[in-house]
Amino acid sequence: MNESENMTREVAAPVRDNAEVVEALNRRYEAGFVTDIESTSLPPGLNEDIVRQLSAIKGEPEWMTEWRLAAYRHWLTMPEPDWAKLDIGPIDYQSVSYYSAPKAGPKSLDEVDPKLLETYEKLGVPLHERAKLAGVAVDAVFDSVSVGTTFRKELAEAGVIFCSMSEAIREHGDLVRQYLGSVVPVGDNYFAALNSAVFSDGSFVFIPKGVRCPMELSTYFRINAMNTGQFERTLIVAEDDSHVSYLEGCTAPMRDENQLHAAVVELVALDRAQIKYSTVQNWYPGDENGVGGIYNFVTKRGDCRGVSSKISWTQVETGSAITWKYPSCVLRGDHSVGEFYSVALTHHRQQADTGTKMIHIGKGTKSKIVAKGISAGRSSNSYRGLVKIEKGADGARNYTQCDSLLIGKKCGAHTFPYMEVKNPGAIVEHEATTSKISDDQLFYCLSRGIGEEDAVSMIVDGFCKQVFRELPMEFAVEAKKLLEVSLEGAVG
Amino acid sequence: MHMLKIDNLHARVEGKEILKGLSLTVNPGEVHAIMGPNGAGKSTLGNVLSGREGYEVTEGTVSFGGQDLLALEPEERAAVGVFLAFQYPVEIPGVNNTYFLRAALNAQRKFRGEDELDSMRFLKLVREKLKIMQISDELLHRAVNEGFSGGEKKRNEIFQMAVLEPKLAILDETDSGLDIDALKQVAEGVNALRSPARSFLVVTHYQRLLDYIEPDFVHVLAGGRIVESGDKNLALKLEAEGYAWLADKHPHLRKADLAGEAA
């Protein structure tokens, strides 16, 4: 291979109409209820005072306030990005409220407003006893505040810290200070800078040396209040020889206006540590005419800092009006491994521009990318990925596979694989396919007695199998159900 | 009482009339072979009976067990007992073969008001049927038809038939693309499924399949109609003489209708 090689490719494939399939896709959004809870919000708008007030409400130490202010000042100097293949109306950052919390501040799970627990029940969040049954430790973030973390005692016995970011800043300040912003620097991009200034909560996970986290960790995010943005910040640190699997799920009520979600997730894996991060994202996608919905602008990055460390991202993205995220791995440690498994489903007028970046720095580093895009309606679904092999990354390898499934003829699928290879010994492989649910496949199922809706979800499920296999068991079931709901609707 | 009664069936595909007044009666337990030159409408018949989209019936009736078959959706036709073994079975990547078959069987049972089979009972059923078809276990664990050889695909079709237990099985050019060993295996499977309550429509271009699946009746489909019917000797005659002789007997047939050669 040449000293340096760049490649860009776009695949856009129109397909023949299939009226029934399109109808079958008329989705229902089942998480679209609003919870009537008294909440405290900061007035809309953003300035240094708001940042200070936010920090004060949360009782943060001085260094944190300064960190936020520095981020805010940096953000002011940055232009909004416009390079992604997205069609975005102007966002008025001054009309957003940057903090909203349920009024009665919860001290423990027992004090949590029953209405809130009801909300989680509707969402199927295994909080409380159900959590124990499911064996999942859950941190739930409602609007901006973490409302309860289950299983704390059990985790503490193992030496694992799993708490809200607010609490971590107060209780584990040194750890947070050491790692916060070390993977995604304050000025990394426009939305990361904004997040750094105004993030309200999120999760913090610390797995000490040699510990295998005894259970799956999980966070559920929900945006409830009107006109609020959600800016959560998640930091996971896995020390040498440790192991953790983490899952986040997201929903929001149906509203006509767009809501902003700009999260930052940082992962740090030290020597031989393994982090598996799974996302099931079901933010409100807007209605079929593209009114309302969440703007999901997220920066997720994992740093394989130690030798033979491994970070694996798995995501199932079905929601949001606009999704803009590229969970990435910086493969710094020799022989470290990065993986990205993704299913992104867009329908109606949803837009998704998602993919990953694999930055190979260490020797013998390996990465694997499997991206599955499903487009229906008038939606647009883009895979954008960067594989970068630095000069010193001897023996680096990457394998990329991008598959697109089109349903109907008005949707689009695009693939933008970028490669920068600076080491001549590296091996980079890329495969891409675009297919549609064929009339032949559908008729085959029908002729065996399987109804149209079931046939479509069966075919889609088969298409996603490679990714679902990577999800923790109970969430694989959830993801499958979510796709089924997304594909639910009247069959002609 | 007849199982299938097709009366004066006319059907169009993409605006072109393919079936032009086809009539055929099949009684329970009978095996009918449908032969005919290329483009005669053999595959169209199977697709129309199964309810494939794009095949438009413009005239005529089809009664199946006394029921108006044409009024049913494709999946309902399957549930009342019509099975089409495809000439080119399609691959469905990532969908497990056994899972697919169980979903199909239970969808049919549900439609008929029967209880659905749990995995234990289903597996027991599958094991029994596996013996009949001599299909390896390994095939069951793969995705539907994915990476199957031509012979494996056709055997899988017959295996599905064995599990779904239809009243009427339509075999659409099941012999195409098979070598003689594979052909024998498929025919053995079909023969094992013959019963007084089950009828077969064997659509084929070649006589050789009928050496292994012996028909009660042989029909020649040409110009969109059944123009000649007889017993298995008719197939032998077609094998020896081709279709051209039919033109003398049926002056309304155009030369083009008989252009296909029997091998």
Q: Is A412 a domain residue?
A: no
Which pLDDT band, with edges at 50, 70 and 90, does A122 fall under? Answer: low
Domain that holds residue A274: 30-325
Q: Do B90 and A441 touch (CB under 8 A)?
A: yes
User: How do residues B176-228 score in pLDDT, each as one tens digit?
Assistant: 888 888 899 889 989 999 999 999 999 998 888 999 999 999 999 998 999 99
Which pLDDT band, with edges at 50, 70 and 90, does A1 fall under? Answer: very low
Q: Do B93 and A446 touch (CB under 8 A)?
A: no
Chain B residue numbers touching A462 (CB-CB < 8 A):
92-95, 143
In this prediction, residue A16 carries a pLDDT of 34
Higher pLDDT, B115 or A461: B115
Q: Do A448 and B94 touch (CB under 8 A)?
A: no
Return mean pLDDT, chain A: 77
Spatial distance between the Cα atoms of A402 and A342, rounded to a whole number of angstroms: 9
Q: Is A404 a domain residue?
A: no
Spatial distance between the Cα atoms of B257 and A460, rounded to a whole number of angstroms: 42
Chain B residue numbers touching A403 (CB-CB < 8 A):
none
Alpha helices (H) along B28-179: 42-50, 74-80, 97-111, 119-133, 137-141, 150-164
Q: Is A424 a domain residue?
A: no
Q: Is A17 on the interface with B (CB under 8 A)?
A: no
Q: Is A50 a domain residue?
A: yes
Angle between helices A452-468 and A473-486 in degrees, nearest 10: 140
In this prediction, residue A21 carries a pLDDT of 44
Closest chain B CA to residue A405: B93
Q: Is A73 a domain residue?
A: yes
Q: Is A396 a domain residue?
A: no
CA distances, A36 to each of A102, A115, A225 (Å): 10, 8, 9
- What residues 150-189 of chain B have any CB closer than 8 A to a CB of chain A? 160, 164
Q: Could you give the angle at the alpha carbon of A289 between the alpha carbons of A284 and A294, nearest 5°? A: 25
Q: Is A218 a domain residue?
A: yes
Of B51, B78, B93, the CB nearest to A448: B78
Chain B residue numbers touching A464 (CB-CB < 8 A):
94
Chain A residue numbers touching B158 (CB-CB < 8 A):
none
Higher pLDDT, B53 or A297: B53
User: How do residues A369-420 score in pLDDT, each as one tens digit?
Assistant: 999 888 877 778 888 889 999 999 999 999 999 988 887 777 788 888 899 9
Number of independent structural domains in chain A: 1
Of B53, B54, B95, the CB nearest to A458: B95
pLDDT at A137 over 70: no
Of B75, B93, B94, the CB nearest to A449: B75
Residue reference for tokens 């903090």:
A99
Higher pLDDT, A179 or A99: A179
Please give the average per-residue pLDDT across B4-27, as a whole number.
95
Spatial distance between the Cα atoms of B233 and A323, rounded to a whole number of angstroms: 68
Q: Is A209 a domain residue?
A: yes
Q: Which two tokens stand for residue A181?
A: 């912003």
